[in-house]
Amino acid sequence: MIVLNNKSACLSLPNHFYDVTVFSKREIETSPSRPDGAGFETDKLGRSRSRSKSRAPERSDSRFPDRSNSRAKSQNRGESRGRSATNSRSTSPARAAASARCKKLGLTSVAKFPFLADFSTSVLDRSRVKSNIGTIVTKKYANIKPTPISSLLKVLEDPAKHEHQRFVVSGYFLSFNSTKVTQIVKKVSGGEVINFGVRTNDDKSSYIFHFIGNLKDSSVEDDNKFLNVYFLTNEEDQHLFDLWELLPNQNEPGKWKGLPKATIDKFEKRLEQLTTQDMEVKLVIELLITGTGKAFFKVYETIFV
């Protein structure tokens, strides 16, 4: 028998020779196993041939996961993580800004006042002391030049062409028609507006503010002339006094019924303190006309600080 090894020269023998049969069998037994299953086998004539070519499609399709899909899924997951991270980063400045606004206003809870994002607090930065700023307005109107009260008084003389027009006005409050909670807060029950102290069995009642401020600025020299501005929150909760953190939400009847006297006194004192020439206020007002033809200015997009 001819013995062959890895250093043997090429030798061609007929297939029916015994040495060819032994060599082919030994090659199968000694060939290293491959992790992909592409070993060797002999054909009917005893010749060795690789089955990797014929088995490769089967290996790719059925024996192993679809790596292209896996890569796509991994990529999608990576993109999702990237988007999440981006979203997280994009909201961080908003949260920081909200925290800064609350800090300026002396507030402790950012999440409690999400509406603050719509308001301009830059006036608090320009002010030497926060205590002389009484109100802030929404960003939409923050940079609009205020209309002098003398001009607004003339608008009331011919209101029809200015109906639903909004103005920005600044000045100070001479007074309010009242600072008493029992007089400036009204109860809405069964579609009717009733006085604060009237008892009802309606658990779905709500509360609104309804009072008048007498506004003045340097454009009016006559001490007896001022502009009446109406605070009336019957359309929606305008968060008028929310930043004071004293009175309940308008739609919390249970809390209004049990309002402590000390809280009421504190609110009334703070409202009274707004009636000084040193207290600056800026308001957004809209000209409205009643069914009887009476024109008045109603306050919108303004909150007390």
DSSP symbols for 183-232: HHEEEEETTEEEETT---S-TT-EEEEEEEEEEE-TT---TT--EEEEEE
Residue 162 confidence (pLDDT) above 50: yes
Contact 283, 146 (CB under 8 A): no
Task: Indicate if 140 and 239 belong to the same structural domain.
Answer: yes
Averaged over 69-89, what is the pLDDT? 46
Judging by DSSP bridges, how do beta strands 281-289 and 295-300 pair with one another?
antiparallel
Instruction: Count, in order, helices (H) and strands (E) of the chain.
Output: 9, 11
pLDDT confidence band for 13 (50 / 70 / 90): low
Judging by DSSP bridges, how do beta strands 295-300 and 227-232 pair with one another?
parallel
pLDDT confidence band for 125 (50 / 70 / 90): low
Q: Is residue 9 part of a domain?
A: no
Task: Indicate if 168 and 293 belong to the same structural domain.
Answer: yes
Q: Which two tokens stand for residue 68?
A: 């292209």
**pLDDT at residue 19 in the model:** 53
Give the chain's mean pLDDT: 75
Task: Indicate if 273 and 138 belong to the same structural domain.
Answer: yes
**Strands annotated E in the chain:** 40-42, 48-50, 135-137, 166-176, 185-189, 192-195, 206-216, 227-232, 281-289, 295-300, 302-304
Averaged over 281-297, what is the pLDDT? 97
Residue 65 confidence (pLDDT) above 80: no
**Strands annotated E in 222-268:** 227-232
Q: Is residue 88 part of a domain?
A: no
What domain count does the chain have?
2
Task: Indicate if 144 and 281 belong to the same structural domain.
Answer: yes
Which domain covers residue 39, as residue numbers? 18-63
**For the chain, percent of residues with pLDDT exceeding 70:** 60
Q: Is residue 90 part of a domain?
A: no
Task: Indicate if 136 and 54 belong to the same structural domain.
Answer: no
Task: Indicate if 48 and 177 belong to the same structural domain.
Answer: no
| C-alpha triplet 275, 281, 286: angle, nearest 5° | 110
Q: Which two tokens stand for residue 55?
A: 């088995």
CATH code of the domain in which 265 resides? 2.40.50.140
Residue 86 confidence (pLDDT) above 70: no
**pLDDT at residue 73 in the model:** 45
Task: Indicate if 265 and 138 belong to the same structural domain.
Answer: yes
Task: Indicate if 127 and 233 belong to the same structural domain.
Answer: yes
Residue 27 confidence (pLDDT) above 60: no
Averaged over 66-85, what is the pLDDT? 46
Residue 66 confidence (pLDDT) above 50: no
